Amino acid sequence: MKAVLDHVGIAVTDLSAALAFFRDSLGLEIEAPEEVASQRVRAHFIPVGESKLELLEATAPDSAIARYTDKRGPGLHHITLRVDDIGAALAQLKRRGARLVDETPRPGAEHGLVAFIHPSSAHGVLVELKQNTVDAFAARGVGAVSRYTLGNFELVSLFDGFLRLDGGAMFGVVPKALWARQTPADEKNRILLAMRPLIVRGARTMIIDAGLGDKHDRKFLEIYGVDRKRNLDHTLAEAGLTREDIDIVLATHLHFDHAGGFTVRGADGRVRPAFPRAQYVARRGEWEDARNANERNRASYLAEDYEPLAAAGVLQLVDDDQTIMPGVRVRRTGGHTMHHQLVMIESGGQTAAFAADLIPTTAHVAEPWIMGYDLYPMDTLAAKKAFYADTMAKNTLVFFEHDPAVAAGYIREEQGRRRVDPARPAV
């Protein structure tokens, strides 16, 4: 196990006295405080090289930090070691008989997973293990481009960063006790989701959806917990592509996490198409619904993602299921929105499907695991059943646009239950 000292936690009783020492006498810089409501503490981080000091201030008398300082006064509280695989670290500790405060990791600050080891097993020191989930995904190749060959096509799964949406809204009627086991929620009950547009490269080059883009203000980015440190610009370049190379931009639907990257704001403040040579294709019904949004779906549509396309004369609206380029067809699913469509790709007797928000993550593979966001959930259910019958018969490679860890896989059935067999990329 490789571990890095992440931070040292120091319990304080008098914050202004602590600041007088660490900030004024030592001259260290203190980051903006972070409130950890569930622990009833306020954390003030002080960067010291690769690691940090963490001043912990209780915000309520029943906080663990208050109980600690009542008993022992202020002082060293815990050390935090960052590991690559917290699950493996806990399993190893358990095998060796260590006493654990947390048997399974729980969500911590900064997209992390944490677990505490009891001081009685650690020579009197409270040890926190931490895994940065974004790092962990990066270590497993998530956020990197993954390439697949399908007949004459090259399919390249790109990445436009992470966002966080309410776990309850993401799983509809499924109780949290069930979904939280698969997908841990953060302090605000949000789960981590990726945005993964897909490149289809044949005689022409198509991109299906384009992620969130970068036109949003700080408040928006905070609400949705956006992390685009790695985004479409990086992954397009890694795929050996520029925006000029894209001939066709195909929309599954016009929600901001799919269509945000369709446009960019220029230095002059004007919003224009992000792919300068491309023809954009969207479904007419979806376009009309986006422009006539109602109280229920209004928050999902941002006019600057798609109105500038029409103004620039690059938007083509299609009415029915049809071939967009040879081997690539759109198929309406309804459900999520009335005109939500998925994309079927076929070449050399092989098939792939870009499922978009019909099955946003591998956790949604069970039929009733349907998003609360869906406007017509019974239509989603019917569309999923039809999709499974078709994809399992053809051994279709299915792309999961929002899954944080799995870009693509095959849907299998085992004892009446669905699961996903992740696909190995070609490179």
Report the interface residues with Zn ion, using CB under 5 A: 255, 257, 357
Q: Are strands 248-250 and 279-283 parallel, antiparallel or unpaired?
A: parallel
From the CB of 315, what's the least distance to Zn ion, in Å? 19
**Phi and psi, residue 413, nearest 5°:** -125, 130
User: Closest approach of Cβ 336 to Zn ion, in Å?
Assistant: 5
d(CA 151, CA 345): 10
Q: How far is the CB of 66 from Zn ion (least distance, A)?
A: 42
Does residue 397 contact residue 423 with C-beta atoms inside 8 Å? yes
Q: What residue ranges in 227-349 does DSSP mark as E strands?
A: 248-250, 263-265, 271-273, 279-283, 315-318, 323-325, 328-332, 341-347
Q: Where are the beta strands (DSSP E) in 246-318?
A: 248-250, 263-265, 271-273, 279-283, 315-318
Q: Which residue has the tokens 């792939």?
A: 352
Identify which of residues 139 and 303 has a Cβ nearer to Zn ion in the complex.
303
- Report the residue number whose CB is nearest to Zn ion: 255
Least Å distance between CB 276 and Zn ion?
25
CB 72 within 8 A of CB 12: no
For Zn ion, which is the closer residue by CB, 128 or 357?
357
Q: Which is nearer to Zn ion, 131 or 300 (CB)?
A: 300
Strand-pairing partners, residue 142, are 144
Q: How far separated are the first and last CA of the chain, in Å rounded?
A: 27
Cα 281 to Cα 382: distance, rounded to the nearest angstrom: 25
**In this complex, which beta carbon is closest to Zn ion, that of residue 77 or of residue 196?**
196
Using the minimum distance from each CB to Zn ion, give the nearer residue, 257 or 346: 257
- CB nearer to Zn ion: give 333 or 347: 333
Alpha helices in 300-402 (DSSP H): 307-311, 377-394
Pick 230 or 255: Cβ nearer Zn ion: 255
Contacts with 260 (C-beta within 8 Å, 6 or more apart), sequence order: 210, 211, 212, 213, 215, 216, 302, 305
Least distance (Å) from Zn ion to the CB of residue 192?
14
CB 358 within 8 A of CB 370: no
Q: How many degrees, rounded to 5, is the angle at CA 25 between CA 12 and CA 60?
A: 15
Q: Is 394 helix (H, G, I), strand (E, B) or coil?
A: helix
Nearer to Zn ion, 130 or 255 (CB): 255
Q: How far is the CB of 182 from Zn ion (least distance, A)?
A: 18
CB of 367 to Zn ion, least distance (A): 19
* Nearest approach, Cβ of residue 275 and Zn ion (Å): 20
